[in-house]
Amino acid sequence: MRLIRFMLPVLILLCCTSVSAQFGKPPKDTTKSTLRKILDFQVLPVNLQREIRNAKHNYHVLFIDSTRLEVNSKIHLDTTVNKTYLLYTDKSRSKSDPAREQRIYADSTLSLMRKGPDIGVISGFSHGGYWFFKIIDGRIKLYSPFSEKDQATNDATIIAILAMQVEDGPLEAWDPKKLFPLFKNIEKCHVMYLEKRYVAAVKRYNKVDGKETRRSF
């Protein structure tokens, strides 16, 4: 029993260290203002309010101490500490109890997951005070602060992209300009990039086998 008590904190520390080592430091450009634009409907352009939903879902939360909790909430942003959180209502407490509503911050968790027959399993990992949901997989991976995977994979909702990762490199703030060297020698990717269809270019790049090259223009 003593050995188990000793090993549990060690295992949790190793797990957190592994995530940090894999993804490096949080993207430097993941600023409070950038996240506010993404997470707060009030500052989104009217045309994007129709495209992006930050809806309530039943999330399964895995905490750092390995405990679990189911929370029905949207993803919120605390602009004071620049972290995302879920709002949990403890219905076992009276409505007058200040502890009835509790904030569950991303950095107190390891992961966040929701599932359903129409979506399968959608999970996000905690890193640097935010949750990151992979919305596009492949040699170039794109991440969103949303779990709305079906709404964040086209150029009409490009504001929903928070970060990117090339191959096994570090997590970086979303910046399509950094991807141009990868796109310039692939004809269709190059055209899509010039048309500012960045998500389409990423999808195309992830499909090519390295033999497709750009023609001379």
Position 211 pLDDT exceeds 70? no
Domain spans, the chain = 2-174, 175-217
Maximum distance among all Cα pairs of the chain, rounded to whole angstroms: 70
pLDDT tens figures, 111-161: 999 987 777 888 999 988 889 999 889 999 998 888 876 655 566 656 678
The answer to whether the CB of 134 falls within 8 A of the CB of 143 is yes
Q: Which residue type is seen at 43?
A: V
The answer to whether the CB of 135 falls within 8 A of the CB of 161 is yes
pLDDT tens figures, 57-86: 999 999 999 999 999 999 988 888 888 899
Position 172 pLDDT exceeds 50? yes
Position 48 pLDDT exceeds 60? no
Sign of CA dihedral 77, 79, 83, 88: negative
* Dist. CA 217–CA 205, nearest whole Å: 19
pLDDT tens figures, 84-98: 899 999 999 998 999
Provide the pLDDT for residue 181.
95
* Dist. CA 103–CA 129, nearest whole Å: 13
